[in-house]
Amino acid sequence: MGRTSRLLGLGLAAALVVPMLVAAAPPKPAERTGTAAETCAVKSKPTGKVLQGYWENWDG
């Protein structure tokens, strides 16, 4: 019983420590995949009839 208790305690300790170590690691900087010319442009507000409430709430 003593050996099983130690193994369970070690497993529990590892399960608690590993997530803390991962969270403490510094975040990696995001890589830019393309320039502004390669990305999609922002579309303007459509003309004509649109779904009620979509564009009105989009602007805030």
Residue 58 predicted with pLDDT over 60:
no
What's residue 37's pLDDT? 62
Annotated domain spans of the chain: 1-25
Q: What confidence category does residue 8 fall into, taking pLDDT thresholds of 50, 70 and 90?
A: very high
Q: Tell me if 55 sits within 8 A of 46, measured CB to CB.
A: yes
The residue assigned the tokens 């999609």 is: 40
Residue 36 predicted with pLDDT over 90:
no
Tokens of 41: 């442009």
What's residue 52's pLDDT? 60
